[in-house]
């Protein structure tokens, strides 16, 4: 068998990145956070003074974008935009909404699709995002779709932002999550939805360690 590819999809703040990163580290796989690539493009638009909803200007900007994913010795992923480490900058609420806007654009998705598939072909890997199992890696050996209640996801994101010193009310965090869910689920191109052969995993009542254990057990069963 060739390289093992695992696709993990789901909405914002469901735990995709944390679970995928820790499962990959446990199994010696490479972790690829595809959402970080979209966030980087959203951030690039913001830095250029471009409205992230302006498809024509965002598409024109792509020719001047160079994205790299690098991994620290401990396996943590760092994102570089035109040579600059933007790993922290892409995690703000503003960058999150910009990512949702640009990810609905066919030109942006086409721009990133080949690079994601190339990365996934080079080693055993876990990719997380919103269309990994449906579009990016339709032949992945394992496809997971993570869910959790809106309240639980908002609680997680609220504490994550607090830890980074970003002040935002719980209600505002929840409202943004619901808005992003709406955008991602209803976009015309590669909407957020489970692949037909996905394994559904509700993480609402699972600790991070429990969720990672469930996921690694499923991968080891391949």
Domains defined for the chain, CATH in brackets: 5-220 (3.40.50.300)
Whether the CB-CB separation of 99 and 42 falls below 8 Å is answered with yes
d(C-alpha 212, C-alpha 125), whole Å: 15
Q: Of 93, 92, 112, 117, which is closest to residue 41 (Cα–Cα)?
A: 112
Does 189 have pLDDT greater than 90? Answer: no
Q: What is the Cα–Cα distance from 29 to 216, expressed in whole angstroms?
A: 11
50-101: pLDDT as tens digits = 999 999 999 999 999 999 888 877 767 899 999 999 999 999 988 989 998 9
Contact indicator for 125, 60 with CB cutoff of 8 Å: no
Q: Alpha-carbon dihedral of residues 48, 51, 53, 56, nearest 10 degrees?
A: -60
Contacts of 174 (CB under 8 A, 6+ apart): 150, 151, 154
Residue 2 has pLDDT above 90, yes or no: no
33: confidence class by pLDDT, cuts 50, 70, 90: confident
| Higher local confidence (pLDDT), 102 or 77 | 102
Average pLDDT over residues 171-179: 95
Mean of pLDDT values over 203-209: 97
Predicted confidence at residue 1, as pLDDT, reads: 53
Contacts of 78 (CB under 8 A, 6+ apart): 69, 70, 71, 72, 85, 87
pLDDT in tens, 108-148: 999 999 888 988 988 899 999 999 999 999 999 999 999 99
Instruction: Please give the span between the terminal C-alpha atoms of the chain, in angstroms, as a whole number.
Output: 11
26 pLDDT more than 90 = yes
Tell me the average pLDDT across 152-176.
Answer: 94
pLDDT at 70: 86
Q: What is the pLDDT of residue 69?
A: 87
SS (H, E, C) 192-212: CCCCCCCEEEECCCCCHHHHH
pLDDT at 77: 83
Residue (of 174, 166, 100) closest to 130 by Cα position: 100
User: If you search the block for the tokens 């994913």, which residue do you land on?
Assistant: 69
- pLDDT value at position 159? 94
User: Of the candidates 3, 12, 6, which has an alpha carbon nearest to the alpha carbon of residue 199?
Assistant: 6
146: nearest Cα among 3, 2, 1, 16 = 16
């Amino acid at each position: 068998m060739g390289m093992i590819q695992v696709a993990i999809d789901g909405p914002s703040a469901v735990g995709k990145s944390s679970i995928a990163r820790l499962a990959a580290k446990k199994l010696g796989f490479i972790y690829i956070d595809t959402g970080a690539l979209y966030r980087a493009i959203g951030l690039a638009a913001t830095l250029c003074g471009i409205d992230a909803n302006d498809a024509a200007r965002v598409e024109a900007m792509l020719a001047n974008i160079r994205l790299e994913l690098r991994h620290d010795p401990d396996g943590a992923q760092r994102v570089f935009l035109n040579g600059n480490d933007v790993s922290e900058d892409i995690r703000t609420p503003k960058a999150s909404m910009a990512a949702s806007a640009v990810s609905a654009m066919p030109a942006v998705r086409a721009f990133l699709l080949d690079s994601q598939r190339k990365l996934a072909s080079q080693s055993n890997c876990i990719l997380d995002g919103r269309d990994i199992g449906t579009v990016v890696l339709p032949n992945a050996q394992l496809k997971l779709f993570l869910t959790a209640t809106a309240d639980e996801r908002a609680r997680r994101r609220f504490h994550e932002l607090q830890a980074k010193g970003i002040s935002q009310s719980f209600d505002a965090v929840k409202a943004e999550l619901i808005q992003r869910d709406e955008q991602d689920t209803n976009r015309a191109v590669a909407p957020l939805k489970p692949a037909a052969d996905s394994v559904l995993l509700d993480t609402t009542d699972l600790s991070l360690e429990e969720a990672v254990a469930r996921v690694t057990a499923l991968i080891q069963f391949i």
